[in-house]
Amino acid sequence: MNKQEKIEILQDLVKIDSQNNHEAQVAHYLQNLFEAHNIKATISEYAPDRANLVAEIGNPSSDQVLAFAGHLDTVSVGDRDLWTYPPLAAEIHDSKLYGRGSADMKSGLAAMVIAMIELNENVAPLKGRIRFIGTVGEENGAMGSRDLTIDGIADDLSGMVLGEPTSGRVVYAHNGSLNYTVSSTGKSVHSSMPEQGVNALTNLVQFVNAEATLFDDVASSPEVGPLVHSVTIFHSGDQVNSIPGSATLQGNIRPIPEFDNQAVIDRLNQAVDQLNEAPNMDLKLTINYSFKPVISQADSPFVQQIKHISDSVLGSEAPLAVIHGATDASEYTKSANQFPLVVLGAGSWNAAHRIDENVALDNYLAVLEIYKQIALKVLG
């Protein structure tokens, strides 16, 4: 496959609108690409227009199984008028491809699939198996990796590479991620008589104020850094001259190994329970989803070998890194089978989820080569 074809595949993927949904269109595109090169790929439907994709190459009798894993969805494009170039046009400017998902993580998907195609066409057979796993919903619940893990997709893995954007460098650890909702129930009355009602909005603001310092005593993790927490969504009221009888907020927290997801949940419950002791206060906490922190052993042969490959292909040494996001790894590592994993993909982590998201094409092509070298050397 020539360079232009590889770039066009990435452009095709970015042009498919899979904002928090519609992953089946990406799955079918990749399935057709695999099968055009004599690789069987299986689609499993999650919901209408939503599907996971699994494909495998190599020696089917080998017990050495390396997973190339990623997600098929993207976050929302946001306000299109703020983009320099249309977010789903996959335009190339100054050797960078712009568009939603270009970094997170359709460049990783494209590089993994093309690497597998080229490895499969190599004269020398692989000594193990490579399994591609493409999932729905990583950006909002990780339903695909959760269901596939329950079905056993990770039970025979020897190792995994997740193609989230790291500029081709090796990430060996990341925070967890926990999303929650707090709802406030009050009593709606005319705004001229607020004393006869209960303002659900102002009650909920008390939680916002408490949350601001709720984790101040949590020490930073030596591996993944501080526990990060934010209230990000707030809804209340539907008419300016009525006291709101209901209000909801949502927040996101990035747990650390030393103060894990359960510790976070316990602290949130304590805050809500304490606030509910006040008169006319009725708050309810709901945990929407909970990803645990993931850490591989930095000095393990798997991590060190992949770091050596990355350094060699990119032409310079770089330290192992951590990210403060979460990945599908939090679900895959729930398997009883324990295996090493790294996060490594094209594009900068800082470009993800942003206006004018982009990936440098040289980095995309370099990561494709890194994936091929990983398959040949790790499985060898």
CA–CA distance, 178 with 366 (Å, rounded to integer): 33
SS3 label, residue 296: coil
CA–CA distance, 6 with 23 (Å, rounded to integer): 21
310: enclosing H helix or E strand:
helix 301-314
The residues, ordered by sequence, that sit 6+ positions from 190 with a Cβ below 8 Å of its Cβ are 241, 242, 243
CA–CA distance, 243 with 280 (Å, rounded to integer): 14
Query: Sheet of 246-254: strands edge to edge?
Result: 228-236, 246-254, 177-185, 283-291
Residue type, 264: V
- Burial status of residue 118 (CB atoms within 10 A of its CB: 0-12, 13-18, 19 or more): middle
Q: Which one is catalytic: 138, 139, 164, 357?
A: 138
The residues, ordered by sequence, that sit 6+ positions from 139 with a Cβ below 8 Å of its Cβ are 20, 71, 73, 74, 75
Angle at 326 between CA 322 and CA 332, to 5 degrees: 105
The residues, ordered by sequence, that sit 6+ positions from 270 with a Cβ below 8 Å of its Cβ are none
Q: Which one is catalytic: 23, 56, 73, 357?
A: 73
Residue type, 360: A
The residues, ordered by sequence, that sit 6+ positions from 207 with a Cβ below 8 Å of its Cβ are 182, 184, 249, 271, 272, 275, 283
Q: Strand 321-323 and strand 171-174: pairing?
A: parallel
Annotated active-site residue 138? The verdict is yes
Which residues carry out catalysis? 73, 138
